[in-house]
């Protein structure tokens, strides 16, 4: 009876939640950042997401001053190539491209000069920061984004050391209206126990608006599968996530 009741209570006994329709953070455009390296890898990743029930992928190549100087001109032509190849392969998956903007001097310049910013949808812009240190001007940049009419979506806060060690800063971001996006793989422990623990706390508090795979390569497919089976993923899916509003 002991073992049987354990099985009944176990996480795996619960059915998996309905799949989300939209994934809004990934690196699937070949050869322009540290994501998919070629078209074959892109198509394999996209097909796997389609098989999992996703209807739309918003892929988000890095834009980082010293590493990946992408612009709409480097991103959108590659998107068109992937769209064509995907269609030719018989897929019905929709694919859109935005970007994951690293908050640095170049990003501030883009905002100040009113350069075109790629959005997830409407005025939603995905941003990231250093994993270790909070940028000195974080609040100013988020404020400036709002002044320019953008809504910041903060990528994977659960992975940032400066937030893990100061939860009240995360709460401040939430209270200020910044959207918060957790990485799916954090929920299966892929980035280590601190990120999982912090993600679980965010879920408990309801401080989550979006879930994103942040999938870069085929190697990530296995930890993603593990995450879908996790207790934290099932708990998160009880929250009213905004992913499918991006369809």
Contact positions vs Fe ion (CB under 5 A): 100, 214
In terms of Cβ atoms closer than 10 Å to its own Cβ (0-12, 13-18, 19+), residue 74 is middle
Structure tokens at 247: 């369809």
CB of 11 to Fe ion, least distance (A): 27
72/171 with CB nearer Fe ion: 72
CB of 232 to Fe ion, least distance (A): 19
CB of 90 to Fe ion, least distance (A): 28
CB of 226 to Fe ion, least distance (A): 19
24/242 with CB nearer Fe ion: 24
74/231 with CB nearer Fe ion: 74
| Closest residue by beta carbon to Fe ion | 214
43/61 with CB nearer Fe ion: 61
Q: How many residues in total does the chain contain?
A: 247
CB of 25 to Fe ion, least distance (A): 6
200/214 with CB nearer Fe ion: 214
1/42 with CB nearer Fe ion: 42
Among 90, 113, 81, 9, which residue's Cα sits nearest to residue 59?
81
Measured in degrees and rounded to the nearest 5, phi and psi for residue 170 equal -65, -40
Cα 229 to Cα 84, 191, 224, 247: the distances in Å are: 33, 16, 9, 24
Q: State how far the Cα of 220 lies from the Cα of 212, in Å rounded to an integer.
A: 13
Structure tokens at 245: 């509003």
Structure tokens at 117: 């910013």
Among 48, 91, 33, which residue's Cα sits nearest to residue 184?
48
Give the count of beta carbons closer than 10 Å to the beta carbon of residue 77: 11
CB of 131 to Fe ion, least distance (A): 12
Q: State how far the Cα of 87 lies from the Cα of 83, in Å rounded to an integer.
A: 6
């Amino acid at each position: 009876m002991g073992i049987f009741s354990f099985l009944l209570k176990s996480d795996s006994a619960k059915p998996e939640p309905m799949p989300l329709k939209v994934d809004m953070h990934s690196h699937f455009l070949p050869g322009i950042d540290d994501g998919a390296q070629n078209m074959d890898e892109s198509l394999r990743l996209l097909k796997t997401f389609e098989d999992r029930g996703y209807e739309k992928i918003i892929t988000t190549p890095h834009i980082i001053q010293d590493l990946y100087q992408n612009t709409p001109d480097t991103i959108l032509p590659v998107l068109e190539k992937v769209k064509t190849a995907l269609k030719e392969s018989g897929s019905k998956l929709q694919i859109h491209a935005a970007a994951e903007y690293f908050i640095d001097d170049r990003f501030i310049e883009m905002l100040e000069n009113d350069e075109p910013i790629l959005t997830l949808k409407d005025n939603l812009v995905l941003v990231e920061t250093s994993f270790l240190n909070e940028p000195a001007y974080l609040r100013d940049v988020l404020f400036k984004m709002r002044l320019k009419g953008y809504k910041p979506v903060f990528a994977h806060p659960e992975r940032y050391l400066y937030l893990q060690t100061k939860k009240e800063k995360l709460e401040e971001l939430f209270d200020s209206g910044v959207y918060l996006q957790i990485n799916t793989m954090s929920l299966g422990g892929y980035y280590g126990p601190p990120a999982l623990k912090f993600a679980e706390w965010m879920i408990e508090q309801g401080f989550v608006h979006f879930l994103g795979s942040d999938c870069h390569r085929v190697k990530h497919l296995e930890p993603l599968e593990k995450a879908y089976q996790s207790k934290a993923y099932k708990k998160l899916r009880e929250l009213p996530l905004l992913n499918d509003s991006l369809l």
